[in-house]
Structure 1
Amino acid sequence: MNKILIADEEKWFLEAVTDRIDAEYGMNHYDFVLNGSDALELLNKSNYKMIILDMMMPLGKDLELPENEPNLMFGIYILRLIRNINRSIPVVCYTILDDNVLKKQIKDLDAIHICKLDDNSFDNLFRNIKKYLNDGK
């Protein structure tokens, strides 16, 4: 089955995304976690078609931020760890952060940046979901 891993601690966002996925694709097309540690754990156990990753989220119980990582960029650190596990899985970084340095880091890690504050961000997110879920049918 084609599944998405959603990593974001904002429950309102999780509800909005999962409700739309349920409506468009039916149940059981996603797993969601509230922190980076749980995202990495699931990624090691399951196959996903894509990941939706927030940039400002808790690390979780098993992760510690290295000294050289910026405090608010837990998502970049988690993205680096994701890339150590799976270099090719599509990752959409769906975040309120719209900094050019961050966007370059995301691009350098072969991921897609979508700013939550952009007018069409939710539709843009679902264009990516459709692309990657339909790719595996």
Structure 2
Amino acid sequence: MNIALIAHDKKKNDIVNFSKAYQVILSQHQLFATGTTGLRLQQEANLTVHRFQSGPLGGDQQIGSMIAQNKMDLVLFFRDPFTAQPHEPDITALIRLCDVYAVPLATNMGTAEVLIKGLERGDFSWREIIKESE
């Protein structure tokens, strides 16, 4: 499965700690992340991650492109609901694409944990069926 990991600045510690806790599960998949988040996941959670640009520089759009091509299976996007983001339209577009293409999306640690546990159980095999039918 292809998994995107994104976090706003004030949520980067959370996504790193989450990824450390679920490193065994995450390491079995292809991981993609925006700039600094990807670097921190590589350095601190010992994960292999394909890094895109940072979110404000187009990283969210790069991940959105993968979603639109049905090449992304799961998105973990730890958002900061209290800080205005200069690239908010990109964030909204990314979330919309997840809805359009039925890509599971977590925007907080609680939902991310539910999705990771489902991933571990094999609950996302339907994503492979969708890819094969294209």
Partner residue of 2:112? 125
Q: Structure 1: which 5+ runs fail to align?
A: 58-70, 95-115
Aligned residues: 97
Displacement after TM superposition at 1:27 (Å): 4.3
Alpha-carbon distance in 2 for matches of 1:129, 1:82? 20
Partner residue of 2:84? 72
Displacement after TM superposition at 1:48 (Å): 1.8
The 3 A distance-change label for structure 1 pair 84 and 125 is: closer
Partner residue of 1:14? 15
Aligned-CA RMSD value: 3.4
Alpha-carbon distance in 1 for matches of 2:105, 2:124? 16
1:61-82, Cα deviation, whole Å (9 max, x unpaired): xxxxxxxxxx726686344211
Q: Secondary structure at the match of 2:107?
A: strand
Q: Secondary structure at the match of 2:13?
A: helix
Q: Secondary structure at the match of 1:52?
A: strand
Partner residue of 2:129? none
Q: Structure 2: which 5+ runs fail to align?
A: 38-53, 126-134
Alpha-carbon distance in 2 for matches of 1:74, 1:130? 33
Q: Secondary structure at the match of 1:135?
A: coil
Displacement after TM superposition at 1:26 (Å): 3.0
Alpha-carbon distance in 1 for matches of 2:119, 2:66? 20
Q: Which of 79, 96, 104 is the aligned partner of 1:90?
A: 104
Displacement after TM superposition at 1:13 (Å): 2.3
Identity level (%): 7
Q: Which of 50, 75, 78 is the aligned partner of 1:51?
A: 75
Displacement after TM superposition at 1:84 (Å): 4.9
Q: TM-score, normalized by length of structure 1?
A: 0.50
Q: Secondary structure at the match of 1:41?
A: helix
Q: TM-score, normalized by length of structure 2?
A: 0.51
Contact 1:53 1:92 survives alignment (8 Å): yes
Alpha-carbon distance in 1 for matches of 2:26, 2:79? 26
Pick the structure with more helix per residue: 2
